């Protein structure tokens, strides 16, 4: 299990938010933490520890009055740690190359591919022609319904008809280098992981998968290790002391096999 750090940017600032609270209208979100440091500070910190594969997420849509400030922060982080971080949030075939050129190792995509409730294979193939499979992460962030977990889009506000299953992972694996999965219902709450989802993801092992959502203690980390059969990578957000939480950054790294 690798530690995959995050830099979430909303309204031009690095934040930790409650995932399900995000609303495009009024650029609103329930905030757990707003950093006084900019995005490049965190990118340099992750670089110092040699941690790769973390993700930068732009939480404002392109039409937002804050989008340019959010994008500026993101690009500063990519330039501070070239090749060290992935970027997501509003990525399309039109702008993917720009982010790769300024230093992203991968682009992370949800809404452009999962469009109108289903997988848009035309968009997916167009994207892969630009990025290559080796630079594409598909974001399968999901919320639970009665019969399982369904992918959500548009900053986690809209349900799709696509259910997260091993068959879906298999089908999409030919297009992507990795998957990123936020368990949106517990994202930002630091109150425990989605055990059922972690076990489902851990049963499949063909590509790296980063799990994010609900990790609030070292015990949660160990539980994720066990349920995910040590195959899942992990993001810790609002519970981390870097973002105002109680989990010590270096202890988290130690559990994930990084000793400094």
C-beta of residue 194 within 8 angstroms of C-beta of residue 39: no
Q: Is 158 a domain residue? A: yes
**Separation between Cα atoms, residue 227 and residue 15, nearest integer Å:** 28
- Token pair belonging to 48: 């110092």
- The whole-number pLDDT of residue 25 equals 56
d(CA 156, CA 149) in angstroms, rounded, equals 13
Question: What local confidence, expressed as pLDDT, does residue 260 receive?
Answer: 59
Least Cα distance to 127 among 108, 151, 146 occurs for 108
User: pLDDT digit of tens for each residue in the chain (260 aa)?
Assistant: 999 999 999 999 998 876 555 555 555 567 778 999 999 999 999 999 999 999 999 999 998 999 999 999 999 999 999 999 999 999 999 999 999 999 999 999 999 999 999 999 999 999 999 999 999 999 999 999 999 999 999 878 899 999 999 999 999 999 999 999 999 998 777 789 999 999 999 999 899 999 999 999 999 999 999 999 999 999 999 899 999 999 999 999 999 987 65
Q: What is the pLDDT of residues 22-45, one digit of tens each?
A: 555 555 567 778 999 999 999 999
CATH assignment at residue 109: 3.20.20.70
Element (H, E) at 54: strand 54-58
Q: Distance between CA 200 and CA 232 in Å, rounded?
A: 11
Task: Say if CB 46 and CB 54 are below 8 A apart.
Answer: yes
* 1 within a domain of the structure (yes/no): no
Domain contains 241 = yes
Q: Determine the pLDDT at residue 162.
A: 97
Enumerate residues 6+ apart whose C-beta is below 8 A from 219: none
Residue 142 included in any domain? yes
Q: Confirm whether 246 is domain-assigned.
A: yes
- Pick the closest to residue 242 from 43, 9, 42, 30 (CA basis): 42
pTM, whole model, 2 decimals?
0.93
Tally the domains of the chain. 1
Place of tokens 């990519």: 78
Residue 44 belongs to a domain: yes
The predicted pLDDT at position 11 comes to: 93
Structural domain of residue 201, as residue ranges? 6-255
Q: How far is CA 129 from the centre of its chain?
A: 22
SS3 98: helix
Of 48, 14, 19, 9, the closest CA to residue 34 belongs to: 14
260: in domain: no
Instruction: Please say whether the beta carbons of 75 and 102 come within 8 A.
Output: yes
């Amino acid at each position: 299990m690798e530690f995959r750090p995050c830099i979430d940017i909303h309204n031009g600032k690095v934040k930790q938010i409650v995932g399900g609270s995000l609303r495009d209208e009024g650029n609103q979100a329930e905030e757990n933490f707003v950093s006084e440091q900019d995005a490049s500070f965190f990118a340099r910190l992750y670089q110092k520890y040699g941690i790769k594969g973390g993700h930068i997420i732009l939480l404002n849509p392109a039409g937002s009055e804050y989008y340019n400030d959010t994008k500026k922060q993101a690009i500063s982080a990519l330039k501070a740690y070239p090749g060290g971080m992935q970027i997501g949030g509003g990525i399309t075939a039109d702008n993917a190359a720009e982010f790769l050129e300024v230093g992203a190792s991968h682009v992370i995509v949800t809404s452009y591919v999962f469009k109108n409730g289903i997988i848009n294979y035309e968009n997916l193939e167009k994207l892969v022609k630009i990025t290559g499979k080796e630079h594409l992460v598909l974001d399968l962030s999901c919320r639970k319904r009665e019969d399982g977990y369904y992918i959500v889009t548009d900053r986690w506000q809209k349900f799709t008809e696509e259910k997260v299953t091993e068959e879906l992972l298999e089908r999409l694996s030919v297009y992507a280098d990795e998957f990123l999965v936020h368990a949106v219902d517990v994202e930002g709450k630091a109150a425990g992981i989605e055990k059922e989802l972690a076990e489902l993801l851990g049963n499949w092992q063909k590509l790296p998968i980063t799990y994010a959502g609900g990790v609030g203690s070292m015990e949660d980390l160990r539980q994720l290790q066990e349920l995910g059969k040590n195959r899942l990578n992990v993001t810790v957000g609002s519970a981390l002391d870097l973002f105002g939480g109680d989990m010590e950054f270096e202890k988290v790294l130690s559990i994930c096999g990084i000793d400094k």
